[in-house]
Amino acid sequence: MKRHMKAQVARVNVSYEVSFRRPLLDWASAALPLFQSLYDRLSENFSLTLADVAVHADPHPAYAVASIRLFGGAGAVELRPDRWRATFGNLRSDEDRKIVMRCLSLLESGVEAEGRPDRHKSAQSLVAIASWYVCEGGATAVTELLNRHGLLGTPISQGFLGAEDIDFNVNPRLRNPREGWDVTFLIQPSLMEGTHLFANYSGTYIDGGRYNSIEQKAEHAKLMLTGMLEKIGVELTNVA
């Protein structure tokens, strides 16, 4: 049995999106007070200026959006008639992760404070985590590892259908309808310079399922991602 390949997290991007049960079609009277609540909570805890805020009203609700830029562009919050979403890029430390969790908690409290249960309550949420890793053995070892899983017992030789090189990725889907979650992974060689492995986690969580709070979803996503990497033979050495 081959030993696990050791890997370290180099960079993580996170997106958290919450869909409303009913869209906010009355943008001025419903969405903008909610946006004010989100802004107030963030501005009380982080440095914001009016230059970080943009509001766009449109006759077509699908194109209406209000946004807040965070941390000099490293993060952003968007409010649309049917959802709110927060994105954070280039996370590199456990301290970065704690700041993200704090931001999400503030946003959630802002929605709860201003929102109406029949309109703003979550129907489902989407957690997306893109992560890049530095691996022992480099790109060659990653390709060999993924090809072992991608072959699935099918003898595909060099030159198959004219191909000179064959690379595989790992793209499983795991779900539990009873617990209300559905997760898709994409694990493949990294195209980012200085890193060797890329993994994307996309998890949908239905409101009222097993995982409802931001903390519960974050812990589930962490365990699922590290568990899947371990399953294919990757051992993370710097997971907090």
Residues 75, 153, single domain; the answer is: no
Looking at the structure, tell me whether residues 12 and 34 fall in a common domain. no
The model's pTM is: 0.89
- Please compute the mean of the pLDDT values over residues 98-121 and round it to a whole number: 82
Query: Which among 36, 43, 37, 68 has a CA at the least distance from the CA of 53?
Result: 68
Shared domain check, 138 and 105: no
**Residue 79: strand, helix, or coil:** strand
Q: What was the pLDDT predicted at 157?
A: 60
User: In this structure, what are the phi and psi dihedrals at residue 174, rounded to the nearest 5 degrees?
Assistant: -120, 140
64-73, 158-167, 178-187: which range is least confident on average? Answer: 158-167
User: What pLDDT sits at residue 153?
Assistant: 52
pLDDT tens digits along 110-130: 888 776 656 666 789 999 999
Mean pLDDT value of segment 30-44? 91
Q: Are residues 91 and 155 in the same domain?
A: no
Question: Where does the chain have alpha helices with state H?
Answer: 32-43, 94-114, 117-120, 138-151, 214-232
Calpha distance 172→187 (Å, rounded): 9
- Give the percent of the chain with pLDDT over 90: 68
pLDDT of residue 5 exceeding 80, the answer is: yes
- Rounded to whole angstroms, the maximal C-alpha distance in the chain is 63
Q: Answer positive or negative: Cα dihedral of 208, 213, 214, 216.
A: negative
Residue 7 sits in the same domain as residue 99:
no
Helix axis angle for 214-232 and 94-114, nearest 10°, is: 140
d(CA 76, CA 84): 11
Q: What integer pLDDT is reported at residue 230 of this predicted model?
A: 94
Q: Which domain holds residue 8?
A: 1-18+126-240
3 against 94, higher pLDDT: 94
Residue 179: its H or E element: none
Of how many residues is the chain composed?
240
Confidence of residue 155 (pLDDT cuts 50, 70, 90): low
List residues bridging with 76 in a β-sheet: 69, 87
The answer, yes or no, to whether residue 154 has pLDDT greater than 80, is no
| 96 and 134 together in one domain | no
What pLDDT is stored for residue 1 in this prediction?
A: 52
Q: Average model confidence (pLDDT) for the chain? A: 89
Residue 117's pLDDT is: 59
Average pLDDT over residues 10-33: 90
Residue 134 and residue 79 in one domain: no
Beta carbons of 39 and 59 less than 8 angstroms apart: no
